[in-house]
Amino acid sequence: MIEEIEKPSKRKKTNYTSPIMAVALLLFVVGLAAHFMYQSSKLTDKIKEQQSIRIELKNDADKDFILQTLKAKDYTKLVSYVPKEQGWKEMKGEMQHDPSLLLDENPLPNIIILQVKAEKNTPFHIGLIKKEITQLDGVVAVEYKEADIKLIDKIISKLTLSGAILIVILFLIAVYIIASTIRLAIFSQRFIIRSMQLVGATRWFIIRPFIVKSLFNGLFSGLLASGMISGLYFLVEYYFPKWNVFHPLSYFIASLVMIVLLGILLSILSSWIMVRKYLRMKLDNLY
């Protein structure tokens, strides 16, 4: 009897083309936003790791011990020793006259240049690192550009927050579009659904066709968005090969898979919520 009731529903078909395209465009923008955030993160990591800490040593300091100590630390990206003779030579090359004509001896100290890993290059961690290095025997002073580190950290926070807000807004728009489509589909078949309930159809039996349809719609949206992103990347790679947008390739492939899964998840979740909502409605509200 349930099968006989389902047959008339085939006459009224909901157009899913527009929602699929709309969700695909939203997933496309989400993918680009995620890629932008990832590339921004990689760029800021490079900038942060280029920031160095300047460690001045005493003339009789055990540089080998200090170098080995710093190399063993988990925050160290790169560490190098610059003797005062090298610093004196570099200063002579930068100045228009020979400083030895004015000074009797080399006033420059021996220094160690420390580059910190990006994840440890925050104002909080740098403060702890400075305090730790200052306590080493033979260290005179520890200097770093505190203002630059704070500025970089502030920019990263703003970019992350802006990207997260954008992605959340796009998710909500996608859910609204899918929910509106499901609402129309349910409305066109509301009497059939009610008849199915009256003859004893289970809730899952009624929800299942909408979930299956949403699964395929989400899959098509995700594949379409992935295809658009891939096409855009190939164009960028062709005209701007130095940008190396496919690097790393594993991230690019993983991002495409995530977009497809996200499209499926959004569609199924929205459909599940909307159908359950309408199944709880009173009979008078359907007319």
**Confidence class of residue 1 from pLDDT cuts 50, 70 and 90?**
very low
* Alpha-carbon gap, residue 268 to 262, rounded angstroms: 10
DSSP letters spanning 31-48: HHHHHHHHHHHHHHHHHH
Q: Is pLDDT of 179 > 80?
A: no
What is the predicted pLDDT for the residue at 285?
A: 59
Q: What is the mean pLDDT of residues 137-150?
A: 86
Token pair for residue 24?
């695909």
Q: Is 70 exposed, middle or buried (0-12, 13-18, 19+ CB in 10 A)?
A: buried
- 176, pLDDT greater than 70: yes
Pairwise pLDDT comparison (263 vs 9), residue with the higher score: 263
Q: Summarize the confidence of residues 88-110 as an average pLDDT.
A: 67
Query: In the chain, what are the domains?
Result: 2-45+152-286 (no CATH), 52-144 (3.30.70.3040)
What confidence tier does 138 reach under pLDDT thresholds 50, 70, 90? very high
How far apart (Å, rounded) are the C-alpha atoms in residues 205 and 36?
43
Q: Which pLDDT score, from 0 to 100, does residue 5 have?
A: 41
Residue, of 263 and 282, whose pLDDT is higher = 263
Question: Element (H or E) spanning 143, and its range?
Answer: strand 139-143
Average the pLDDT over 267-277 and give the result: 83
What is the pTM for the complete model shown? Answer: 0.69
Given a cut of 90, is residue 122 above it in pLDDT?
Answer: no
Closest C-alpha among 171, 234, 153 to residue 23: 171
pLDDT at 155: 82
Predicted confidence at residue 284, as pLDDT, reads 56
Across all residues in the chain, what is the average pLDDT?
Answer: 82
Please enumerate in sequence order all residues whose Cβ is within 8 A of that of 218, keeping only pairs 6 or more positions apart, or say none: 23, 263, 264, 265, 266, 267, 268
Amino acid, res. 280: R
Q: pLDDT-derived band of residue 102, with 50, 70 and 90 as boundaries? A: low
Q: How far apart are CA 55 and CA 81, in angstroms?
A: 9
Question: Residue 194: is its pLDDT beyond 90?
Answer: no
3-state secondary structure at position 215? helix
